[in-house]
A and B are shown apart, each in its own frame.
Chain A
Amino acid sequence: MNLHTIASYVPSQFLDNIVQAGTFGETEEFIRKKIGPLRLPRKDPAEETSDIAVKAVRALLARAALATDAIDALVLVTQNGDETLPHTSARVHAKLGLPQTTAVFDVSLGCSGYVYGLQILKGFMQASGYKKGVLVTADPYSKIIDPTDRSTTLLFGDAATATLLSDDGSWELSRPLMCSDGAGADNIVVKDGKFQMNGRQVFNFAATVVPKQIKALLEQEQLSEADIDSYCLHQGSAGILDAIARRFPDVKERFVNKLAFTGNTVSSSIPLLLEDAMEEFNHRKILISGFGVGLSWASMVLTHKEKK
């Protein structure tokens, strides 16, 4: 079961992050170099999570020339769904008019959710004999961000993505490495309806465990750092990406930073990068790594089956 196509929906409305930073006394240079986003896309407040998910899936169906009745399964990664009950993928199912034979369910994960989601959907499809499955990410943090909290409001943008897995996709998925540390769960939480993050602990966590996991994955796959054409890591912040990339001095420039116009879009950040990276003619191997809420982190290598 391979990765076939990715499409996305990034709202056209946005928050000017330089202006927002000014209200906290932060400079444009600090935002550009250490935080990353110049703009933070914002869904319309009247739009629900399922609405942005549907827009991403519709873009995928158009790009892959796929009919809704061809979708055997749809998995939605979100922690900010429409309601507590039902699962938001049920709302997506209805809005897209998917057939009753399509299996849908949600996965509750944050920034590691895309890598976990690929593995969950791949295994589910293989075990069920399915041919086409869609992994959707839609986790609009604008629902939970406290605009007075400088440590989080400068970071997060809204977006949704949809990824088609099928038996005729071009990108093979490696066996991932997936880890958890529930002892650190209090470092990223929603309390009293508001999102809270211990920035230093999250930075520490990401800069410590992610390089180790990437190195272990390369060893598992018998690859060198230079064998990877692009390192598409979760776009936590510019500072976190720099701290991780610094631990790979020989290939530092292959770590992608595209925070400027989307910000940290949680589980959507990796597929937003992949959407572009997969189009690069010379790319044969791409490493993806997500890390965050849980604490949870996961990494995987994607290999183009015809360019190996």
Chain B
Amino acid sequence: MITIEKIHEIIKTSCPNVDASKIMLEVRLREYDIDSMDFFNIILELQEELGKEIPDEDIDQLRTVASIQDYFKKNTA
């Protein structure tokens, strides 16, 4: 499991210019000025939180805060 607060914290660390608290659950992260390099950083931090590598083919499942939560639900015991 991962909390919304934790996802916001990861977004804040990865992209300090973005106000993570304003990100809607179902809206794609790229709508909030999160560019490709920011996204690489977010995935990196999520991987560290998950404790395993996130394969390229799973990246599309991580485009919103809600889908990140779902992904963690499916991939953590």
- B-contacting residues of A (Cβ < 8 Å)? 30, 34-35, 198-201, 203-204, 207-208, 237, 239, 243, 246
In the complex, are the beta carbons of A243 and B44 less than 8 A apart?
yes
> Looking at A30, A198, A237, A239, which has the most chain B CB atoms within 10 Å of its CB?
A239
| Chain B window 29-56, contacts with chain A (Cβ cutoff 8 Å), 1 for yes, 0 for no | 0000001111011011001000001001
In the complex, are the beta carbons of A204 and B47 less than 8 A apart?
yes
Q: Hey, which chain B residues are within 8 Å of A30, CB to CB?
A: 35
Q: Hey, which chain A residues are within 8 Å of B37, CB to CB?
A: 34-35, 203, 237, 239
3 tightest A-B CB contacts, nearest first: A239-B37, A34-B37, A203-B40
Give the number of residues in B that approach A within 8 Å (Cβ atoms): 13
CA distance in complex: A243, B40 (Å): 10
In the complex, are the beta carbons of A239 and B40 less than 8 A apart?
yes
B59: interface (CB < 8 Å): yes
In the complex, are the beta carbons of B56 and A203 less than 8 A apart?
no
CA distance in complex: A237, B36 (Å): 13
Minimal beta-carbon separation of A51 from chain B (angstroms): 34
- A-contacting residues of B (Cβ < 8 Å)? 13, 35-38, 40-41, 43-44, 47, 53, 56, 59
Q: Hey, which chain A residues are within 8 Å of B36, CB to CB?
A: 34, 199
In the complex, are the beta carbons of A199 and B40 less than 8 A apart?
yes
Q: Looking at chain A's contact residues, is the secondary structure mostly helix, strand, loop, or mixed?
A: helix
Q: Which partner residue on chain B sits nearest A202 by CB separation?
A: B40
Q: Please name 10 further chain A to chain B contacts, defined as beta carbons within 8 Å, in addition to the given A201-B56, A203-B40, sorted by A numbering.
A: A34-B35, A34-B36, A34-B38, A200-B59, A203-B44, A204-B40, A204-B47, A207-B41, A208-B44, A239-B41
In the complex, are the beta carbons of B56 and A207 less than 8 A apart?
no
6 A-B residue pairings within 8 Å (CB atoms): A34-B36, A200-B40, A200-B56, A203-B37, A204-B40, A243-B44
Q: Hey, which chain B residues are within 8 Å of A208, CB to CB?
A: 44
Q: Hey, which chain B residues are within 8 Å of A203, CB to CB?
A: 37, 40, 44
Q: Hey, which chain B residues are within 8 Å of A200, CB to CB?
A: 40, 43, 56, 59
In the complex, are the beta carbons of B40 and A198 less than 8 A apart?
no
In the complex, are the beta carbons of B41 and A243 less than 8 A apart?
yes
CA distance in complex: A12, B58 (Å): 44
Q: Hey, which chain B residues are within 8 Å of A198, CB to CB?
A: 56
Other-chain contact of B44, A34, A199, A204, A237 (Cβ < 8 Å): A204
Q: Which partner residue on chain B sits nearest A237 by CB separation?
A: B37
Q: Hey, which chain A residues are within 8 Å of B56, CB to CB?
A: 198, 200-201
Q: Which partner residue on chain B sits nearest A204 by CB separation?
A: B44
Q: Which partner residue on chain A sits nearest B39 by CB separation?
A: A200
> Looking at B36, B37, B41, B59, which has the most chain A CB atoms within 10 Å of its CB?
B37
Q: Hey, which chain A residues are within 8 Å of B44, CB to CB?
A: 203-204, 207-208, 243
